């Protein structure tokens, strides 16, 4: 994390006390909102915010009153899956494509070639003012793809500054990319804030120890900060008279930054919150269990703003679903994938894997199972570096030889077989791989075949054992940024 990120992380920028601004904005925005054809598009994307860390999803410990209230005023989704790595997940959202169809955009430290259309560019062509606060596409280096600005928009200190600078007759497309709840955390901030260790629900893939409980509370603190900042922006929007003409999307780019979560194809890495709100257009109170991918969002934005669909986008607009034109998306599966995350293996290779998620099963194919899924144990700079440094990681590593902790070390750090299959009804935490169990042979074969079909149909470079050239794409993180 560089100094600018730390500055942002401290919450100095973009978080000018909301209350003060709200009071002044009520004065500033007395004029009625201009009439226009399409709505504003406002995206809130938290960094590493996984499902189900919100009150509306049943979590009674983390407090997300703004998300809960907004989600109830529109459609909230319970089965959204994305790539468990920041850049490719965000790239998929922007372009409506699978990460493996984005060339260098498939990696964490890559870029999106600008030949692939994205929704922000399309809206800019249609007269939208496009802006961004904090983390847009990233941490990949967007300039290498031919972009002058971040593909998520031109950078502003905050929504307030963006809105004040925007020509009044133009609709806007704004992206609020919080750096929360990405690490690092202030260790013990959850306990310091008065949260109780005993209240924490520890996921079954992590050891139930005070160090881990405290780490999870620190995660909650950051989710709650994201929620507050989002609430402040919504108040500004309301004061400006724009709320009724704005389509709002709230989500997270990947799962929690803990061992066996982020950078893994298990649900804890790929399953994220999502709510879509558009007053007067999307009926309130909808809870939707359709299987959704991040490449569905760009087509949704284009349809909502009356733009023609892009054949380059493989996702499907969610608008017919959320507006009640169709009862379901008609899907019985979603796909997940990963390539290179951090620089943590000899030869700077990744850990390519693909997965298929249905309501009942998760099937994963590890395409290079001879490699270490979390990174090499012997890297000098960082051991098992696809797992973010954290008290939880340190605890497991330091206690890995104890019988009670060894299984957790096995789950998150050790090598994995080429195939994994989890029976979600009996094993919701995805702890017991049944891929070799004869009882599951039929379903394993079916899911394996469907995964092959998808890889072929979407021209996945990894189909039939290929795709080694993906490993040759440059690692774009500048030496000065290594930390
Ligand atoms: Ca992230």
Rounded Cα gap, residues 151 and 147, in angstroms: 7
Note the pLDDT tens digit of each residue in 404-425.
Answer: 999 999 999 999 999 999 999 9
SS3 call for 204: coil
In the reported structure, the alpha carbon of residue 273 is separated from the centroid of ligand 1 by a whole-number distance in angstroms of 13
Q: What is the pLDDT of residue 78?
A: 98
In the reported structure, the alpha carbon of residue 326 is separated from the centroid of ligand 1 by a whole-number distance in angstroms of 32
Note the pLDDT tens digit of each residue in 330-357.
Answer: 999 999 999 999 999 999 999 999 999 9
In the reported structure, the alpha carbon of residue 291 is separated from the centroid of ligand 1 by a whole-number distance in angstroms of 21
In the reported structure, the alpha carbon of residue 99 is separated from the centroid of ligand 1 by a whole-number distance in angstroms of 15
Q: Compute the C-alpha angle 296/95/181, nearest 5°.
A: 75
Q: Are 374 and 422 in contact (CB under 8 A)?
A: no
Q: What is the pLDDT of residue 9?
A: 52
In the reported structure, the alpha carbon of residue 257 is separated from the centroid of ligand 1 by a whole-number distance in angstroms of 8
* Residue 478 pLDDT class (50, 70, 90 cuts): low
Q: What is the pLDDT of residue 52?
A: 98
Note the pLDDT tens digit of each residue in 274-318.
Answer: 999 999 999 999 999 999 999 999 999 999 999 999 999 999 999
In the reported structure, the alpha carbon of residue 48 is separated from the centroid of ligand 1 by a whole-number distance in angstroms of 4
Q: What is the pLDDT of residue 34?
A: 43
Q: What is the pLDDT of residue 476?
A: 87
Q: Please state, rounded to an integer, the average pLDDT across all residues of the chain.
A: 93
pLDDT at 28 over 50: no
Note the pLDDT tens digit of each residue in 89-117.
Answer: 999 999 999 999 999 999 999 999 999 99
pLDDT at 48 over 70: yes
Q: Which residues surround ligand 1, an ion (CB under 5 A)?
A: 47-48, 86, 253-254
In the reported structure, the alpha carbon of residue 263 is separated from the centroid of ligand 1 by a whole-number distance in angstroms of 9
Half-sphere exposure (CA, 13 Å, Cβ side) for 256?
27
Note the pLDDT tens digit of each residue in 204-228.
Answer: 999 999 999 999 999 999 999 999 9
Q: Rounded mean pLDDT of 32-47?
A: 79
In the reported structure, the alpha carbon of residue 191 is separated from the centroid of ligand 1 by a whole-number distance in angstroms of 24
In the reported structure, the alpha carbon of residue 280 is separated from the centroid of ligand 1 by a whole-number distance in angstroms of 32
How many helices, marked H, and strands, marked E, lie in the chain?
A: 14, 13
In the reported structure, the alpha carbon of residue 251 is separated from the centroid of ligand 1 by a whole-number distance in angstroms of 11
Q: What is the pLDDT of residue 382?
A: 86
In the reported structure, the alpha carbon of residue 254 is separated from the centroid of ligand 1 by a whole-number distance in angstroms of 5
In the reported structure, the alpha carbon of residue 306 is separated from the centroid of ligand 1 by a whole-number distance in angstroms of 30
pLDDT at 22 over 70: no
In the reported structure, the alpha carbon of residue 158 is separated from the centroid of ligand 1 by a whole-number distance in angstroms of 20
User: Which is nearest to 416 in space by CA: 395, 400, 431?
Assistant: 431
In the reported structure, the alpha carbon of residue 468 is separated from the centroid of ligand 1 by a whole-number distance in angstroms of 25
Q: What is the pLDDT of residue 88?
A: 98
Q: What is the pLDDT of residue 89?
A: 98
Question: Which residues make Cβ contacts (< 8 Å) with residue 206, sequence separation at least 6?
Answer: 212, 258, 259, 260, 392, 396, 408
Rounded Cα gap, residues 203 and 261, in angstroms: 10
In the reported structure, the alpha carbon of residue 54 is separated from the centroid of ligand 1 by a whole-number distance in angstroms of 17
* Residue 23 pLDDT class (50, 70, 90 cuts): very low
In the reported structure, the alpha carbon of residue 181 is separated from the centroid of ligand 1 by a whole-number distance in angstroms of 8
Rounded Cα gap, residues 32 and 272, in angstroms: 36
In the reported structure, the alpha carbon of residue 253 is separated from the centroid of ligand 1 by a whole-number distance in angstroms of 5
In the reported structure, the alpha carbon of residue 440 is separated from the centroid of ligand 1 by a whole-number distance in angstroms of 34
Note the pLDDT tens digit of each residue in 136-169.
Answer: 999 999 999 999 999 999 999 999 999 999 999 9
Q: Rounded mean pLDDT of 235-241?
A: 97
In the reported structure, the alpha carbon of residue 442 is separated from the centroid of ligand 1 by a whole-number distance in angstroms of 35
**Model confidence, pTM:** 0.92
pLDDT at 87 over 80: yes
Q: Rounded mean pLDDT of 435-440?
A: 98
Complete domains list, the chain, with CATH: 26-331 (3.40.720.10), 335-462 (3.30.1120.10)
Q: What is the pLDDT of residue 372?
A: 98
Q: What is the pLDDT of residue 381?
A: 73
Q: Are 290 and 329 in contact (CB under 8 A)?
A: yes
């Amino acid at each position: 994390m560089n100094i600018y990120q730390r500055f942002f992380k401290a919450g100095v920028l973009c978080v000018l006390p909301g209350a003060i601004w709200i009071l002044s904005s009520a004065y500033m925005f007395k004029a009625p909102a201009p009439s226009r054809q399409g709505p504003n598009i406002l995206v809130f994307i938290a960094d590493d915010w996984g499902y189900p860390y919100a009150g509306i999803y049943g979590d009674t410990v983390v407090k997300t009153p703004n998300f809960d209230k907004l989600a109830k005023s529109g459609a909230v989704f319970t089965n959204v899956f994305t790539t468990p790595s920041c850049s490719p997940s965000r790239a998929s959202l922007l372009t409506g494509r699978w990460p493996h169809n984005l060339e260098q955009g498939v990696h964490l430290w890559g870029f999106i070639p600008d030949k692939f259309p994205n929704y922000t560019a399309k809206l800019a062509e249609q007269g939208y003012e496009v802006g961004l606060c904090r983390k847009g596409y990233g941490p990949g280096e967007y300039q290498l793809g031919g972009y002058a600005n971040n593909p998520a928009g031109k950078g502003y200190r905050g929504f307030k500054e963006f809105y004040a600078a925007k020509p009044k007759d133009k609709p806007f497309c704004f992206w609020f990319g919080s750096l929360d709840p990405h690490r690092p955390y202030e260790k013990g901030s959850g306990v310091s804030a008065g949260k109780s260790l005993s209240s924490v629900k520890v996921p079954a893939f992590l050891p139930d120890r005070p160090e881990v409980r405290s780490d999870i509370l620190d995660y909650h603190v950051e989710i709650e900060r994201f929620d507050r900042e989002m609430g402040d922006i919504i108040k500004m929007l309301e004061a400006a008279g724009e709320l009724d003409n704005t389509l709002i999307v709230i989500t997270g780019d990947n799962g929690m930054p803990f061992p066996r979560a982020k950078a893994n194809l298990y649900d804890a890495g790929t399953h994220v919150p999502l709510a879509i709100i558009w007053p007067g257009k999307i009926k309130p109170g909808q809870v939707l269990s359709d299987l959704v991918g991040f490449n569905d969002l760009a087509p949704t934005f284009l349809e909502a703003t009356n733009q023609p669909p892009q054949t380059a986008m493989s996702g499907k607009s969610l608008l017919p679903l959320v507006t009640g034109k169709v009862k379901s998306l008609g899907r019985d599966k979603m796909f997940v994938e990963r390539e290179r995350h951090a620089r943590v293996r000899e030869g700077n290779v990744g850990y390519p894997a693909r997965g298929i998620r249905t309501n009942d099963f998760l099937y994963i194919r590890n395409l290079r199972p001879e490699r270490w899924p979390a990174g090499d144990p012997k890297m000098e700079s960082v051991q098992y570096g696809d797992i973010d440094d954290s008290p939880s990681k340190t605890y497991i590593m330091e206690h890995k030889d104890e019988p009670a902790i060894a299984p957790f070390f096995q789950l998150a750090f050790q090598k994995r077989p080429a195939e994994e299959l989890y029976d979600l009804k009996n094993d919701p935490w995805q702890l017991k791989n049944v891929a070799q169990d004869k009882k599951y042979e039929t379903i394993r074969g079916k899911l394996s075949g469907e995964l092959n079909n998808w890889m072929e149909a979407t021209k996945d470079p990894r189909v039939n054992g290929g795709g080694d050239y993906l490993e040759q794409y440059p690692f774009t993180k500048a030496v000065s940024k290594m930390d």
